[in-house]
Amino acid sequence: MATVGLRGAWPPMLGRFAAAWLLAGVAAASPILEFDYSKDTGGFFAAPERRATLSLAGNLVNRFLDDLAPIVPSGTNTWSYWLTRPDNLVYEFPQNETIPTNVIRIFPGGSSLSDSGPLAITYSAIPWQLAGDEAWKATVRTRGQPGAAGTGATDYGPFAGSLVFNASKAWSSGTAAPAAGTYDLLSIAAHELLHLFGFGVSQSFQNLVVSGSFVGPHALAAAGPANPHLLLAGQSHWAAGTTGTIAGLSATAIMNETFAAGERRLPTDLDRAALQDIGWRPAAIGDVDRDGAVTPDDLLVIGASGAFTAGGIHGWNEGDVNGDGLVNPDDLLAISATGLFNGGPYALAATSPVLVVPEPDGVVPGLVSLATWFCARYLRQNRVGTSRRSWRRSRWASARVGIRSAGLRSSNSWS
């Protein structure tokens, strides 16, 4: 099994504070994506790069807070669930598994779905033989989300599912732009994980579909005049041509129904807003560790990830708070603009981004200009002599290579 986590080394300036702050951190009440490759018997995810790409897709998607109750069978409280294997699409019924708090167990794999078949399919696991008291049954069905029960559901609490990728297709892995004639594993894995979070498949989503359009208030607000009606394709995808925004710029929504070879997409504000409508609570801008508060811990996490100067595509848990896949001064500016550091022991001045860091034991007191240090280091090493506006445009242009909104259906591939 693999879980989404951090990588990289501490920058020298932050090293002295790392241990004290992280040990004092509050555990994040957020989903934990646990990838279990035991049913990938064909070896689609045998290569470490493919597994790393799937984990990165999880980091791009998973920027939510929710308390998913554990499923712990005992005594007369027993269960099994209906799982579709990702390697051969055969049904299995695992018996009396324990699903820890906040964990969503995901079984990825590859299957030959034919060259003309779909790029990928998501199968949500379904509770099967449930026995025991009613409280136990409700926990299995809803993961402790009160609004997730019944036909009038307004929330969603998944526990497991499988991601099936078409092994007959040519795939590109990693963060580089996908090669010509190949499908981008990063984009399509993120798309499928959004389905696993309930997009198009949950009762709470279907309850917001009226006459073929999605009417969730957060999605409608994010759609704006570019998408006045949020038409759906088959009640589980946005219609072709639907656009959202990423860091304020228009981009093709990742939950459109089709992908073309060589195309990369990232989740847009519109895609994430739909998940908020079906019950997920988004983390605040800057709450990188998803502990429910924006504190210096979050900037320390950004430093620990090594993403600020590493280049490539990065997720929320590495510091990409504006959703463009990059970790750069724009993210720190987005955190500063929220004002969420104000009013507590942490002060982020509007004109001089200096964090007042409470003194951990054994650390010399003083001000640590984390945001200033990050910005200066990034500009010195990556964009010396270039205006902020121009480097932002050039970095974003490289991240959205291949995104387009026309002719997607003609690719004859869908997900």
More confident residue, 234 or 261: 261
Share of the chain above pLDDT 90, in %: 55
Q: Report how far Cα 207 is from the mean position of its chain's Cα atoms.
A: 23
More confident residue, 34 or 296: 34
Average pLDDT over residues 141-165: 95
Share of the chain above pLDDT 70, in %: 75
Q: What is the DSSP string of 352-377?
A: S--EE----TTS--SEE-HHHHHHHH
Report residue 309: phi and psi, to 5°: -120, 5
Q: What is the pLDDT of residue 219?
A: 96
DSSP, res 68: P
DSSP, res 92: E
Enter the pTM of the model. Answer: 0.79
Token pair belonging to 85: 């294997």
Q: How far is CA 119 from CA 41, 170, 413, in A?
A: 19, 10, 6
Q: What is the distance between the alpha carbons of residues 190 and 61, in angstroms, rounded to a whole number?
A: 6
Q: From its phi and psi, is residue 381 left (phi > 0), alpha (psi between -120 and 50) or beta?
A: alpha
Q: Is the pLDDT of residue 409 over 80?
A: no
Q: What is the pLDDT of residue 302?
A: 84
Average the pLDDT over each of 9-23, 99-113, 253-267 and give the range with the smallest value: 9-23
The pLDDT tens digits for 62-87 are 999 889 999 999 999 999 999 999 99
Q: Is the pLDDT of residue 314 over 70?
A: yes
Which residues, including other chains, have CB under 8 Å from residue 43's CB and lie 6 or more apart? 110
Average pLDDT, the chain: 79
Angle at 317 between CA 271 and CA 122, to 5 degrees: 45
Q: What is the pLDDT of residue 226?
A: 79
Average pLDDT over residues 375-385: 45
Q: What is the pLDDT of residue 40?
A: 97
Q: What is the distance between the alpha carbons of residues 97 and 99, in angstroms, rounded to a whole number?
A: 6
Average the pLDDT over each of 18-27, 129-138, 157-166, 191-200 and give the range with the smallest value: 18-27
Q: Is the pLDDT of residue 231 over 60?
A: yes
Nearest Cα residue to 307 out of 319, 299, 295:
319
Token pair belonging to 187: 């984009």
Token pair belonging to 131: 């026995």
Q: How far is CA 287 from CA 64, 65, 193, 320, 331, in A?
A: 10, 10, 21, 11, 11
Q: For residue 341, what pLDDT band results from cuts at 50, 70 and 90?
A: low
Q: What is the distance between the alpha carbons of residues 77 and 130, in angstroms, rounded to a whole number?
A: 8
Q: Report how far Cα 139 is from the mean position of its chain's Cα atoms.
A: 24
**Which sequence spans correspond to the domains of the chain?**
31-282, 296-399
Q: What is the pLDDT of residue 331?
A: 86
More confident residue, 27 or 229: 229
